[in-house]
Amino acid sequence: MKESKMEANLYCIQCRDETPHVIFYINNRIKNVECEECHRIQGIKIDIMKEFYKEIYERISTKPARITQEYKQDLNKFLLKLPARAISKPYRLIRDLNNSRKVIKQFKN
Ligand SMILES: [Zn+2]
């Protein structure tokens, strides 16, 4: 899961003018938009857990069929077992999952 940001000039309801805004993204989906003049934050509702599961599903769907099957049967149980299983998996997956957890934590605060 990736966080990124972009700047753009948008119309701010509070400033009643076109001002520089910072747009924050999670996985290329807009999370919120902040006006740089008045710092008004426009939150966008995204289902963070749905994004997270979708991402994991996409990764796992290329893995052996047995794992995919287990994953479909009980996602929560699968996620609990994941750290042990991940030892034999590429380092990158673990790192990305840790990163995703960080993003989710920030988002929930
Ligand atoms: Zn503003």
Q: Which residue has the higher pLDDT, 81 or 54?
A: 54
Does the pLDDT of residue 37 top 90, yes or no?
A: yes
- Helices and strands, counts by H and E, the chain: 4, 4
Rounded Cα–Cα distance for residues 109 and 105 (Å):
6
The residue segments making up the domain with residue 58 are 48-108
Torsion of CA 79, 73, 91, 29, to 10 degrees: -80
Ligand 1 centroid – CA 34 distance (Å):
8
- For a pLDDT cut of 70, what percent of the chain falls above it? 59
pLDDT value, residue 36: 94
Whether the CB-CB separation of 100 and 1 falls below 8 Å is answered with yes
User: Is the domain of 9 the same as that of 27?
Assistant: yes
From ligand 1's centre to the CA of 61, what distance in Å? 43
Ligand 1: centre distance to CA 37 (Å): 5
Co-location of 89 and 61 in the same domain: yes
More confident residue, 26 or 37: 37
Question: What phi and psi values does residue 46 have, to the nearest 5 degrees?
Answer: -125, 150
Q: How far is the CA of 17 from the centre of ligand 1 (A)?
A: 7
